[in-house]
Amino acid sequence: MAVTHVKRAYKYRFYPTDAQAAELSRTFGCVRKVYNLALTARTEAWSLRQERVNYNATSAMLTAWKRTEELAFLNEVSSVPLQQTLRHLQGAFTNFFAKRAKYPRFKSKKKSRDCAEYTTSAFRYRRGQLTLAKMEQPLDIVWSRPLPEDMNPSTVTVSRDGAGRWFVSMLCDDPGVKPLPALDTAVGIDAGITSLVTLSTGEKITNPKSERQHRERLAKAQRELSRKAKGSKNRAKAQVKVARVHAKIADRRRDFLHKLTTRLVRENQVVVIEDLTVRNMLKNRKLSRAISDASWSELRTMLEYKCAWYGRDLVAIDRWFPSSKLCSACGMIREKLPLNVRTWACDCGAVHDRDVNAARNILAAGLAVAACGDGVRPQRSTPGGRSSAKQEVVPPQRTRAAAQPRG
């Protein structure tokens, strides 16, 4: 599948001056205030008058708010991030009415992510230097990787995480993202906890368990936080320490998943996965922590957009497909297979490793779809209206296993 004009974000860390940090902090607060005011106005308009308020109406409200004495401080920051947050709110309502998301929530000063988005009219990018509106000096960016030549950002998003780190994300049209040469290889992937993924080739990739490696350090930081008085400066410092541990865990996990998914996409033309309902699986109190640490949802998300970028096929088989119970040699299905059984023998004489057998069955089901399209469900659409690069398949019918239960 040919992919042209891919929008790609390049994210870098930067170190603002005191004046820049103060300006950005004011901008974050104004963005949050405008978002909450617009959400309140739209909610009241519907609940009291059954009236739908769109982006144009909230934009006019913003102009009126700036003229009031109470909200005159909104004029002190760039108007572009304020307009962009109204567009984001409009997108949130669009997703809500399309039943793709829940009702928009208010932004909290303590819990919400600090960020502001600038369009081309509010920043200047020249010779590797980025200058934002209302600022005289360019940002001190750490160029961990060079921005491709002849690429100009269409939007710039500045953010600050809970650990106090500042980031700038530049969205560009990247012509370098092109489909890779076609291959004749395919792989089935069985997600797990001990082994993060087991491939149909028999290879098992160990779960790095990033959260477990930092569990003691995280627990110590959280204990210190619990002993600090609420509202004190020491508590704020302790919160930053906890956030830094969480950031380190997330960074290590994301780095590992990027390397793994890039390798799988480069080495295989067809990638077959299970359509797991991670949200429901997290209700298992014994496994929820390990499942969260494995981050299967992020793994799937990365595979989806990388397959779309590089012309690969991603197939997601039905969540009820009995991949573990099904014998990949003869097609018989076991009646029961508890989780503690990692190896089992079939009546046909085949001895299976539970995870490897599941990966092989997942691959077989996916190849059946790629070959004849049997059992293919309609492709799910992305919020932008375009179909995603994956297919979903219901379990193939096996003659000898038709009367057996799924599992």
Q: CB count, 10 Å around CB of 262? A: 14
Q: Rounded to whole angstroms, what are the CA distances from 222 to 111, 162, 168, 239, 302?
A: 17, 14, 29, 8, 31
And the tokens for 187? 């792989």
Place of tokens 């103060």: 22
The residues near 197 (Cβ < 8 Å, ≥ 6 apart) are 189, 190, 191, 204, 205, 260, 299
Inter-residue contact 53 to 37 (CB < 8 Å):
no
Residue 41 and residue 25: Cα distance in Å, rounded? 25
H runs (alpha helix) in 268-353: 278-281, 288-294, 296-310
Angle at 311 between CA 309 and CA 312, to 5 degrees: 105
209: left (phi over 0), alpha (psi -120 to 50) or beta: left
Task: Give the residue numbers annotated as catalytic, written as ranges.
Answer: 190, 274, 355
What is the DSSP-derived secondary structure letter of residue 223?
A: H
